[in-house]
Amino acid sequence: MIDALFFGRVAEALGQRRTQIDVPAEGLSLLSLRARLFIGDDDSKVLMSVNQVIQSGDQALHDGDEVAFFSVFSGG
Cα 4–7–11 angle (5° rounding)?
85
Least Å distance between CB 74 and other proteins? 4
- Name which of 6 and 28 has its Cβ closer to other proteins: 6
How are strands ordered across the β-sheet holding 66-70? 18-21, 2-7, 66-70, 47-50, 53-55
- 11 belongs to the binding site for other proteins (CB under 8 A): yes
Torsion angle of C-alpha atoms 5, 8, 13, 17, degrees rounded to 10: 30
Which position among 20, 24, 38, 52 is part of the footprint of other proteins (CB under 8 A)?
52
Nearest CB to other proteins, comparing residues 57 and 75: 75
Residues binding other proteins: number (CB under 8 A): 17
